[in-house]
Amino acid sequence: AERLHAVELLPFKAAIKAGARAVMTAHIAFPQFDASGRPATLSRKVVSELLRQELAFDGIVATDAFTMQGIADHFDPAEAAIIAAQAGVDALLIPVDTPRTHRRLVQAVRSGELPLQAVETAARRLLTMKAGLGLHELRTVDINRIADLINTPAAQQFAQNVASAAITLLEDDGAILPLPNDRPLKIVAGIISNSAAGNEGEHLAEQLTARTHDVASYLLSAGMSEALLAQALVQCREADVVMFELHLTVGAWKGALRLPPQALQFLQAAREAHKPLIAISFGDPYMFEYLPPMSVSLCAYGGGRLMERAAALALLGDTAIQGKLPVTIPGRFAFGHGLQRA
């Protein structure tokens, strides 16, 4: 419980302090708080005692979808709705059978199984938020205006600043960073990904190419042809700098995070050719536990345009590197580790 408060719950505490209006529960158990094994969505100890009382959150608590396996495979959905309401949630999302769930909730209130006060409190929270957003006057949202209202230039710049502040330099053997700006480099990037986006590494390559560096990228996967792998290995041996990009994130149905044999061959070729080797994790930082020491190891923690641009700016010396590891990478780097670059 002490670690949960110091690490995992820290972002929630900060969000609540900053005025977050809603929190979603997950269908996962927290035995440190509730020994019954119930998922957080159905746990009074988590929703009412931890979130409401201990963390002093008075906004809307919404569940994750009731159609998800954490509820649907282990509980009667209508009965689970009662338990969730008793636990203190305000909004039940995507019931398996909405009419049946509604009938069961009405029955529970009439029988006293679910206190009417709990329903009224939840309704008051929801109506108060709707009124605050003007939804009692304009009930529909103009979806065509969402990007203009949310993705403003100021919001984009703020997000980019956050991305840059997160970049963490774990090692820089030989003080390779920043990359030189006075001459073009031949850079070969090997990319490993378990994302469905299909454009991993593109934004990073664009930023480096804009500085006259020549970037050739290869997706290293089990489906890679032998001819393409051979080409990547030749390019690797001829490069000025080799980048090893890991776009690997933990997620449902993704399975264990592993490096394909092609990635190991790519790494071996770079090391045998004694090339400066820059490894960047655009996802799970724990992947560095399974990699040998690199010339440069950089944590970006996530992928996409903002993080790839932040990584490029850090590599080029356009932004300071000031991130600190939020976790310990066993056998490699301790919690709080991070090399600084002005």
List, for residues 31-88, the tens digit of each pLDDT value. 989 999 999 999 999 999 999 999 999 999 999 999 999 999 999 999 999 999 999 9
What is the arithmetic mean of pLDDT over 238-243?
96
Confidence label for 273 from pLDDT (cuts 50, 70 and 90): very high
Q: How many CB atoms lie within 10 A of CB 180?
A: 14
- Residue 133 within any structural domain of the chain: yes
- Residue 267 within any structural domain of the chain: yes
Domain of 115, in residue numbers: 2-142
Q: How far apart are CA 4 and CA 10, in angstroms?
A: 8
Contact yes or no for 95/86 (Cβ under 8 A):
no
- Residue 331 within any structural domain of the chain: no
pTM above 0.85, yes or no: no
Q: How far apart are CA 144 and CA 174, in angstroms?
A: 51
Residue 198 predicted with pLDDT over 90: no
- Residue 25 within any structural domain of the chain: yes
**134 and 101, same structural domain?**
yes
Contact yes or no for 43/33 (Cβ under 8 A):
yes
Tens digits of per-residue pLDDT, 276-322? 999 999 999 999 999 999 999 999 999 999 999 999 999 999 999 99
Q: How far apart are CA 80 and CA 122, in angstroms?
A: 17
47, burial (CB in 10 Å: exposed 0-12, middle 13-18, buried 19+): buried
Domain count within the chain: 2
Distance of CA 300 to the CA centre of its chain: 11
**120 and 173, same structural domain?**
no
- Residue 256 within any structural domain of the chain: yes
Q: What is the mean pLDDT of the chain?
A: 93
**182 and 118, same structural domain?**
no
- Residue 66 within any structural domain of the chain: yes
